[in-house]
Amino acid sequence: MSLSQFCRIKWERAKDLRRQGKFAKATQELLEALEQAPQHSLLKSSLANLYVRQGKILEAKILVEEILALDPQCSQALVVRGEIAFKEKNMKEALESFRHAWQLDQQSYLTVRIARTLKEMERYSEALETLDSSLVADKENPRLLKEKALVLNRLDRWEEALGLYEKLRVLEPKDRFVQKEILRLKGMRRSDHKVIKELQTAVNIPSQQDNAQLHGLLAQKLKKAGQVREAAAEYRTASRLEPDNLYFLKQQGFCHYSLGEHDQALECLGQAFHQDPSDYYVKGTLEKIYNSLGRLEEFLDLLEEAYHLHPHNVKLLGTIKRLRKSLNTMETNDN
């Protein structure tokens, strides 16, 4: 079913807004288009994808199941189903969904999603075979090359990964992640002290001051060198520059925890936990802090808030039940 001119304009606007990270506005554009075409699978799949990005997994699931009930071969809906399964750490279902979608629409994006899922399943050889089979016909595809470099990194094949990033730097000279990885891999041949000095110089160059990836790499090196307070400051800068990158926010929180700065740690890790409650290390650290402060009731409140945002998270519900039982037992013993 083709889109009307009105719906096409709304859909294109939503795509642009999504790329800018303006998910709420993108959602509104799609909802307005769906008022005219309420059963259009492309519009509904796009909305489901936005819901996934916003952590509204239940809403996304409902939309996807509605679409697939009417059209089991809708590739866009299969992709979103794969993304949901990936977020829920159900890699088998994610792999099946991505492969099914790829059979219908052989895009490089889907090749990457299949390879990334295989990587998370530690099936590295299959991930490389998947990427290499597509690179035969598309040797300079940046998306495929970048994913292959990530797999090679996981296998500690650093020289091969560096070679790919050097190639990517020619293809995409403005890609800051690629720049950061080249510096990181080359830095493995030099002392941490020298690398830190080089990175401190780099992030003070006007053109690189807003480079979140370089600030994050500097933070990583500082933390490894025992300069945890300085690392926390660099992670804070990186998180400010890339607020959607939860890795920086989490690492800032872990730094504050190492420094005994519990309030700052709770602020950072609590914010990250709201968006990604499946992170075992974040949840565990939060529980340790709240327990040490004698404020487990507040931790329970945080868990319930996160569960309200992510009702699909069964493990989260298990933690809530466990903690409630523990708190009730403590209250009974006190009485």
Q: What residues contact residue 314 under an 8 Å CB cut-off, 6+ apart? A: none
The answer to whether residue 180 sits within a structural domain is: no
Q: Is 145 exposed, middle or buried (0-12, 13-18, 19+ CB in 10 A)?
A: buried
- Pick the closest to residue 57 from 68, 66, 48, 70 (CA basis): 48
Radius of gyration of the chain (CA): 22
3-state secondary structure at position 299: helix
Of 238, 260, 276, the residue that ends a domain is 238
In tens, the pLDDT along 193-218 reads 999 999 999 999 998 999 999 999 99
The answer to whether 128 touches 141, Cβ cutoff 8 Å, is no
The DSSP letter of residue 3 is P
**What number is the average pLDDT over the span 21-44?**
91
The answer to whether 142 touches 171, Cβ cutoff 8 Å, is yes
In tens, the pLDDT along 148-186 reads 999 999 999 999 999 999 999 999 999 999 999 999 999
**For the domain that residue 57 is a member of, what is the CATH number?**
1.25.40.10
Q: Are residues 262 and 233 in the same domain?
A: no
Per-residue pLDDT band for 328 (boundaries 50, 70, 90) equals confident
Residue 269: which domain range? Answer: 252-335
Q: Is 305 exposed, middle or buried (0-12, 13-18, 19+ CB in 10 A)?
A: middle
With the CA atoms of 280, 281, 282 and 287 taken in that order, what torsion angle do they form, in degrees rounded to the nearest 10? 90
pLDDT surpasses 90 at 107: yes
CA distance 221 to 184: 9
Q: Which pLDDT score, from 0 to 100, does residue 334 have?
A: 65
Of 204, 238, 272, the residue that ends a domain is 238
Total structural domains within the chain: 3
The answer to whether residue 143 sits within a structural domain is: no
The answer to whether residue 200 sits within a structural domain is: yes
pTM comes to 0.79
The answer to whether residue 171 sits within a structural domain is: no
The answer to whether residue 125 sits within a structural domain is: no
Of 77, 112, 136, the residue that ends a domain is 77
**Lookup: tokens for 294:** 């004698």
Residue tagged 């740690």 (tokens): 265
Q: Are residues 222 and 272 in the same domain?
A: no
Q: Which pLDDT score, from 0 to 100, does residue 48 have?
A: 95
